[in-house]
A and B are shown apart, each in its own frame.
Chain A
């Protein structure tokens, strides 16, 4: 019996090397929106209050859990979106041309982890700033002209768009 015949007896499944569609769609927009969401959740957590009765304390605990959950989720989203750009989109020539790109990506991940672990507005704002700098590099790498504009979100921070 040949060795391959033995392997044929093993259970087999089909595995794929790619997503269903080779979309080529990359965009730093979602990471920026997620960074704004982290700032907003941090703001809302800071505004939470409770009175000295059990109902109020329960409502406080419930709302705190919800806000923290969303903050955590969007921290992961920033990390995933930037991870996709870093691993799937940015190539050696991008890192050579934009010499601070690697440092910015590492910094953003560290800041995102920090904002998930703490209630830290300073880090949340620094995270948005770092993500915006990455967005500017991304658009430049596409031959587009990025610009900063006031976001329409309650955070009142900026967002990077392109011409």
Chain B
């Protein structure tokens, strides 16, 4: 997630905003996939599927495969860096 967040950064995440509104394009969220929690930015929402990507896009070969996640996998919105 460089340059927005770096390794060992702490962020405040809340599920409360998601009770009132759907996650939106451009927001940074924490979601569950492969039994782990991940942090990514929502790049596109299509047919109820959320496509997420990191901010560090300088080398596409260094990107990772995520595919799409469902709304239920998104656990919280990143509010700010501590």
**A residues adjacent to B (C-beta < 8 A):** 4, 7, 10, 12-20, 22-26, 79-81, 83-84, 86-91, 109, 113
Contacts and interface: CB of A to CB of B under 8 A. Distances in A.
A7 B12 contact: yes
11 contacts: A7-B82, A13-B37, A15-B38, A16-B36, A18-B38, A20-B34, A80-B49, A83-B49, A88-B63, A89-B60, A90-B60
B39 A10 contact: no
A24 B61 contact: yes
Contact of B67 (A12, A13, A80): A80
B contact residues, range: 20 to 34
Given A18-B54, A19-B64, A24-B61, A87 B34 contact: no
Nearest to B4: A17
Contacts of A91: 57, 60
8 cross-chain pairs, A with B, having the tightest CB-CB distances, nearest first: A80-B67, A88-B63, A24-B61, A19-B64, A15-B37, A17-B1, A15-B39, A18-B64
Nearest to A25: B65
B16 to A, nearest CB: 13
Contacts of A81: 67
Given A4-B82, A7-B12, A17 B38 contact: yes
Given A7-B82, A16-B38, A84-B66, A79 B49 contact: yes
Contacts of A24: 61-63
B34 to A, nearest CB: 7
Contacts of A20: 34
Given A17-B39, A87-B51, 11 more contacts: A7-B82, A10-B12, A15-B38, A16-B39, A17-B38, A19-B65, A83-B68, A84-B67, A86-B44, A87-B44, A87-B66
A24 B63 CA distance: 7
B45 to A, nearest CB: 11
Contacts of B11: 15
